[in-house]
Amino acid sequence: MTTEAFFNELQTNQVSLYISQLNAFAGAVAQLFHILGFLLILTAVLIVNLRLIGFGLRKQPIPYLAKVTNPLILAGLVLVAISGLFILLPSASLYYPNPAFWLKFYLLAAVLVVHFTITRLVTRKENPKPVVAISAATLSLTLWFGVAFAGRAIGFLN
């Protein structure tokens, strides 16, 4: 099956048809949870990455900040994934030809890999090498902001 056929299939299965029958209010609620989830991720990402660069909560140990922000990231990811499915499923074939949609998911895949490998490793240390810490933080911030930017662009290209 081609990707396009898969997206058409996504849109026409029973669950998707059920979601699309819900009123516009349900759609707005899904959007709000999507934003809320992103805000949780964002708060965590900013606190840790600013600290890695040497800004923000400079006096606090890096592993402590990584530890207390981790639940925010996980809760945020769950929220955006569930609300994202609600947004995507009823209009999957509308999103398929949208380049911003694909860009967003490539960037998201990249940032998740970076987060669970590079960021994890770097934030385990009390004093990572500044060049390593700054590179990791810049990469993470660029990718996360890229996801947001591409996400906003989806609406412009639809």
Partner 1 sequence: MTIIQFLQILHDSEFGTSVRESLYLFPLLEGIHLIGLALSLGLIIATDLRLIGVFLKQVPVNEVLHNFRPYVLVGFLITFVTGIILLWAEGPRIWEIPVFPLKLALIVVAGFNALWFELKFGRTVQVWGQQAQFPAGAKLAGWVSLISWSGVVILGRLIPYLEATQSRF
Smaller CB separation from partner 1, 72 or 122 = 72
Q: Spell out, one character per residue from 2 to 21, where the chain touches partner 1: x when CB under 8 A holds, - when not.
A: --------------------
Helices (H) and strands (E) in the chain, counts: 8, 0
Q: Spell out, one character per residue from 129 to 148, where the chain touches partner 1: x when CB under 8 A holds, - when not.
A: ----------------x--x
- In sequence order, the 6+-apart residues with CB closer than 8 A to the CB of 69 are 43, 44, 45, 47, 48
* Residue pointed to by tokens 């992103």: 38
On the CB side of 86, how many CA atoms lie within 13 Å of its CA? 20
Residues 20-79 interacting with partner 1 (rule: CB under 8 A): 24, 27-28, 31-32, 35-36, 39, 42-47, 50, 55-60, 64, 68
Query: Total residues contacting partner 1 (rule CB under 8 A)?
Result: 30
Task: Check residue 121 and give left, alpha or beta (phi > 0: left; psi -120 to 50: alpha).
Answer: alpha
CA distance 147 to 104: 5
Smaller CB separation from partner 1, 20 or 43 = 43
Smaller CB separation from partner 1, 3 or 41 = 41
Encoded tokens for 30: 């899904």
Smaller CB separation from partner 1, 85 or 148 = 148
Smaller CB separation from partner 1, 9 or 49 = 49
CA distance 26 to 37: 17
Q: Which residues bind partner 1 (CB under 8 A)?
A: 24, 27-28, 31-32, 35-36, 39, 42-47, 50, 55-60, 64, 68, 145, 148-149, 152-153, 155-156
